[in-house]
Structure 1
C-alpha cells in the first residue's frame, strides 16, 4: 500500500526526519543520522533532498564552516552571488548592456585594425608588382 507521501511526491523512501516538505509539516528539527560510505559517499535522505529541491544528478555546493558541513544547491549559491553583485550596482545601471557595449567597441576597433592591415598589405602587394 502506498503512503500519502509516496502518492503525492513519488518518493518511496522514508527518512528518519520528521519533516514532510510536500505537506509543510514540521514535527521536529530536520536532523538525520547517516553513515559515510565507501569512498566518502554520503546519502542525503529523501525528505532533505525534497526540502533542498534537489534530485540525483543535480550539482551541490559543499562548504565546511566552523566544523560543520553545509550543503546547498549550486544554483542557490549562484543566486546569492547575483544578489550580492546587484547590491553593488547603482540604480539605473544595466551591467549586462554596459558589458556588451564594451565588447562591441572592442570588436569595432579590432575590425578597423584588421581592415587597415588588409589595405596596407594589398597596397604593398600592388607596389611590388
Structure 2
C-alpha cells in the first residue's frame, strides 16, 4: 500500500476470516484487542472502533435541541395516573 492509497486487496479465508493488513490497521489506528463494530452500509462492509461509534453518536445527540424533556413528561404522566388511582 502506498501513502496515497487507503485501500488494499484482502482475501476472505476459511470460516469467513478476514485479515486486515498492518499498513491499513496502522492508518485506522486498529490495535490488537480493539473491539470493532461491523455493519453493512450500501453493500459495503464498514468496520469501526467501538469508541468511534460512541463518539459519533454522542456528537449527533449533543446537537438535538432540548425543547422538551421526555423524563419530565413521563414523571408528569405517572403523577397524573397516581392521582387518578387515589380518587
Q: Same fold (TM over 0.5)?
A: yes
User: Are 2:29 and 1:53 aligned?
Assistant: yes
CA distance in 2 between counterparts of 1:74 and 1:18 reads 27
38, 41, 50: which one aligns with 2:17: 41
* Equivalent residues, number: 67
The normalised TM-score by structure 1 is 0.47
Residue of structure 2 in register with 1:32 after alignment: 8
Residue of structure 2 in register with 1:18 after alignment: 2
Unaligned runs of 5+ in 2: 72-87
CA distance in 2 between counterparts of 1:89 and 1:49 reads 37
CA distance in 2 between counterparts of 1:45 and 1:66 reads 23
Unaligned runs of 5+ in 1: 1-16, 20-27, 91-98, 100-129
The normalised TM-score by structure 2 is 0.68
CA distance in 1 between counterparts of 2:50 and 2:9 reads 23
Spell out the pairing of 1:85-96 with structure 2 (5 A cutoff). Answer: 85-88=61-64, 90=66
RMSD over aligned Cα atoms = 1.6
Give the structure with higher Rg (CA): 1
CA distance in 2 between counterparts of 1:36 and 1:70 reads 15
Q: Which structure is higher in helix share?
A: 1
Q: Which aligned runs of 4 or more in structure 1 are off by greater than 2 angstroms? A: none
